[in-house]
Each structure stands twice: as C-alpha cells, then as structure tokens.
Structure 1
C-alpha cells in the first residue's frame, strides 16, 4: 500500500536554511502542519528537531503520523578519518529510526543514506562526466555504502540510498553505477533526477526492482542555467526555487504517478519541495504549497 508523507525541507527546515532571515517552525509545529495538510507520514529532518528516542514516538502519535524516513549523509568520497567519524556517530540516529518504527512496524521508516558531496560537485549542480569518481575512488565509495547498509540492517532497519544534486550519485549514469555495485535500494527522487539530467517517466521502470522509497518533487530546470555563473551555484538554485509545487515545473506529474502506481510499488511517497524561507510570506506559501501538493494527489491517494 502506498502512503503519502511530507518532509521538514518543504517548510524550509534543512541544511541551507536561513534562520537569520525568518524564524523556522519547530518540530511540534511542523508535525501539526504536515498532519493538517493530510499526509500520513513525515521525514526526520535535522537530528533533534522532533526530540530524542523517547520524545519522537510521542510526537508522532500526537499528530497521527508515522516516520517515513530521513536524510543521513556520509562523506562516502572523503578521507578514511572523515568517514570513520561519521559512521561512529550514526548510532543515535539509528536509535531514532528504531524508536519510530516500533510504534508503526507496518510503516517502518527507511534510513535514507546519501553522499555528502564536495565543493567540486556543489559548484556544478547537474553533474558532468568529468566530475565522476575514478575507478579506485568509486570502489571505496561503494564499499563504504555497503558498510553503512550492513550497520543499518544489523539494527533491524532497511536502508535506502538517495541520489542527489551536487553529490557523487547525481546523474543517471552514476545511479546505474551505484545500482550495479551495491545491493542497497534506491530512493527515486523525481526532482533531483530532473536536475541530474534524467527522465523520471522513462527511468522509473528501468530501476523499479531496486526502488524501495520515492521522493516526489517537481523541478524547474531553467533555474540551472540562470545560476551557471553564480559564486555559489548550489545555494543559488535553491534560493531561486529550482523546486516548485507539483505541476509547476518540468515533471509530468500524472504520468509519473501513474507509472509508480502501475508498477506495484508498495511504500512511502514522500512529497518534497525544498525551499529556503526568506520572509514571512515564504512561510505562508510553503504551507499552502504542501496543502496543494496533497490535493494534487487525491486522484490516486484519497
């Protein structure tokens, strides 16, 4: 059964946030907004946003939500010291996922693994062949993903991997390489795939047997060109709203949702619309967009 969720990033709460410009909603407020908009689940967001392993399940139950997943990035292409430090710090996050899963075992969260990227990749959203890892660095990358997956599974949770703009798994070619060299399921993100040069409607069937999580988001690819000469392209495309409400960008929403449903996919669809809040009007717009996004999906998910 497909269930719908939303995420803190849709309300401006993520790594690129500007709390110096506008106060960000806290965990209680976010959960209330997501539930009121009609979603069944929510993503974890920054660690601590929804409290610790005791407070998180209580918050979810208060708002009638389940935890769908949550972003956990690792420096898979970094130094041994950087990676080992990140892996050593993973245990408290796993405890949060496990605590949330205990109250809704039929809707278990997917720890959503991702690469931390690099300054080089952040400077070129969309990727390019010359930015790909060479064979030796890629072998290390894939082995590290497997190590994190093994730790996740040992905790009784099934991981998923998020291809993402400005990381070393961004383009369709890099996604294919990842699928060939690991056994980890894929978070299929329609918006990031558009940014990375893919076609969600044709790519989903190719990878369907490995997709165990879906992020549904729309993207306006024209923003990539407008930020080409920016000093900070990654931040710039987010601030210029590369991610838009469903139906306002380059995603064929009807066709991709039909494709997902017809495939027999059984899991979470997390609606995301990454926004950087810059004033009070942006807060109101974010709330309205997530209500509209949920209504856009009523045809498939009442």
Structure 2
C-alpha cells in the first residue's frame, strides 16, 4: 500500500516566492540538495528553479529528485478564459517535461493572500457569476490537462474564494469529478477553522494531491485577534512542518493509506528560514512521516 505514496517537499521553506526576502539568499542548488539529503524524492517548483526543462532535469537527476507539481494562478474571475488557457497550457507543457503529472491551480482574480488586509475580515466571496466562471473555466482547463495525461487539482487557500468547507463543497459540486480534483491542504483547512478530517473523508476519491502543513495554534489565534494579513501570519510562524506544531497527522495518514491513496504527499510549510532552518525542519518532517505513517 505504502509504495503508492511518494514523498516530496516544497521549496517554500527555503525561499518564499511571495516574500522573497525570506530566504532570498539561499540558492536553488542548496535547496534541492537539502531536500535529497533529508530523504525526499520529489519537489514542487519555486521561482528560483531553472525554467529550461533540460537544465532542471539534470539538476534533479543528480540528486534523485523529480518534480511533482507546481502552483498555477488562475485569473478566471478577472481575465478572458483564452488568456488563462494560454498560460495554463504553457505551465502544463513545462511541468510535463520535468516529470510532473499534476498541476495545482488556485483562483487569484480576487485573492487577498498577498495583500496587506486582515485575512479573515477581508476574505473574498465569489458572486454567482464568479462561481460560474471559476468552475466552468476549471472544467475546461481540467479537460486540457487530461488530454495531456495530467490531472488538474484545485488548491483551497486562505484569503481566496475557496477556503471554507462550505465553499469547498460548492466548488466540488460545480466541477466535473473526472476533470477536477482537490489538492488537500491540512494547514489551510485548520487555519481557516475547518474540520480537516471531515473534508478528507468526504472527498477521498477526488483528492489527487496532498499538502502536509502543520499550524501553530497560538499564532493563528493571534492572527485573528490582531487582524493580521496572511503574509503577516506566515512571517510570524503560523505554519510549520508535520512533527512540529499543534496538529496530529496520524489520523490523516491512516485515512489516506486505508483508502489506497496513490500519489504525492508534499511537506509544505512556509516559514522564515532564518528562524526555522530548512534542512533541520525537512529532516524533522521526514522522520515524523516515517514514524507515524511507516513510509
């Protein structure tokens, strides 16, 4: 059963693409070398990664790594579908060339995740027309991905129109289960105040990619109380890796394994690398997964 599950880690613990000052000095080569050293076999894509597939593949092969996914910002609420489709095809082509068979999308047309606004109070909510544009657009993009032998997964995310359980439910109802799956992210669900295990159980068959992200509950409470933006919360340590923080991942691992999940589990925890040494935390996460999941 466990051989169906492959372990990856995201580069955001080394260099934060949304806040380049966090880890800006850490080179790409150090990042991927430390991923391999910590015992991971996959990586997602960061801004420092070479965009030439040949160059990237060589660097990864030297370290026994492969790319499993990359973030795609869809702007279906604010841009013409043709424009979004063009960017999506370009991203699919790149990802396919570097070994990924999953592409993770999140609607950014009205997102506040990068804005200096209170993450809870200013959260966007889709209008009826926006729901239609987002879900129909993603069905369209999902069909393109499927033709290429890839799977489109949607990343529910703090500060966006698909964040809460209710919004995830609506999104899943309005998208085609053959074309659009869910990128299940423990950290974003728990930060939002959702029941992460209930969401996991409900959508097991449509969860095609997993982000393992822990939270520090005291920081999240402070973010609510002091009306922090998302990036303020990140900077102050809202997220951390499995094996650190307040969430027990044993039930998550058990449910996924018992369901015969096939695909990637990705450790993704954006922190300030000056405060949370990336290699140290990568090793901590890897040991925890070994102990708790037997993988």
Q: TM-score, normalised by structure 2?
A: 0.88
SS of the residue corresponding to residue 186 of structure 1 reads strand
What is the CA distance between 1:126 and its match in structure 2? 4.7
Q: Deviation per CA, 1:92-125, whole angstroms, max 9, x where unpaired?
A: 3222211122xxxxxx431111111536565343
The answer to whether the Cα contact below 8 Å between 1:125 and 1:224 also exists between their aligned partners in 2 is: no
- Where does residue 125 of structure 1 map in the other structure? 119
SS of the residue corresponding to residue 266 of structure 2 reads strand
- Where does residue 18 of structure 2 map in the other structure? 15
- Where does residue 161 of structure 2 map in the other structure? 168
The answer to whether the Cα contact below 8 Å between 1:188 and 1:211 also exists between their aligned partners in 2 is: yes
- Where does residue 43 of structure 1 map in the other structure? 44
Task: Give the alignment's Cα RMSD to 1 decimal.
Answer: 2.4
The answer to whether the Cα contact below 8 Å between 2:119 and 2:228 also exists between their aligned partners in 1 is: no
Q: Deviation per CA, 1:129-165, whole angstroms, max 9, x where unpaired?
A: x842122221111111122222222333111111111
SS of the residue corresponding to residue 227 of structure 1 reads helix
Partners of 1:231 and 1:205 in 2: how far apart?
31
What is the CA distance between 1:38 and its match in structure 2? 0.2
Partners of 1:63 and 1:50 in 2: how far apart?
15
The answer to whether the Cα contact below 8 Å between 1:70 and 1:111 also exists between their aligned partners in 2 is: yes
Q: TM-score, normalised by structure 1?
A: 0.86
The alpha-carbon distance between structure 1 residues 124 and 87, as it changes in their structure 2 partners (threshold 3 A), is farther
The answer to whether the Cα contact below 8 Å between 1:4 and 1:269 also exists between their aligned partners in 2 is: yes
The alpha-carbon distance between structure 1 residues 56 and 112, as it changes in their structure 2 partners (threshold 3 A), is same
1:114 aligns with 2:106: yes
1:90 to 88, 112, 122: 88
What is the CA distance between 1:228 and its match in structure 2? 4.1
Partners of 1:84 and 1:12 in 2: how far apart?
32
Identify the range of structure 1 (118-127 vs 290-299) with the bigger mean alpha-carbon deviation.
Answer: 118-127
Partners of 1:118 and 1:225 in 2: how far apart?
24
SS of the residue corresponding to residue 39 of structure 1 reads coil
1:177 aligns with 2:170: yes
Which 4+ runs in 1 deviate beyond 6 A? none
Q: Deviation per CA, 1:62-88, whole angstroms, max 9, x where unpaired?
A: 1101211111111232243xx543432
Task: Extract unaligned runs of 5+ from structure 2.
Answer: none
- Where does residue 104 of structure 1 map in the other structure? none
The alpha-carbon distance between structure 1 residues 42 and 155, as it changes in their structure 2 partners (threshold 3 A), is same
- Where does residue 55 of structure 1 map in the other structure? 55
Partners of 1:242 and 1:232 in 2: how far apart?
11
Partners of 2:77 and 2:221 in 1: how far apart?
27
SS of the residue corresponding to residue 161 of structure 2 reads coil
- Where does residue 146 of structure 1 map in the other structure? 139
Partners of 2:210 and 2:30 in 1: how far apart?
24
What is the CA distance between 1:222 and its match in structure 2? 3.2
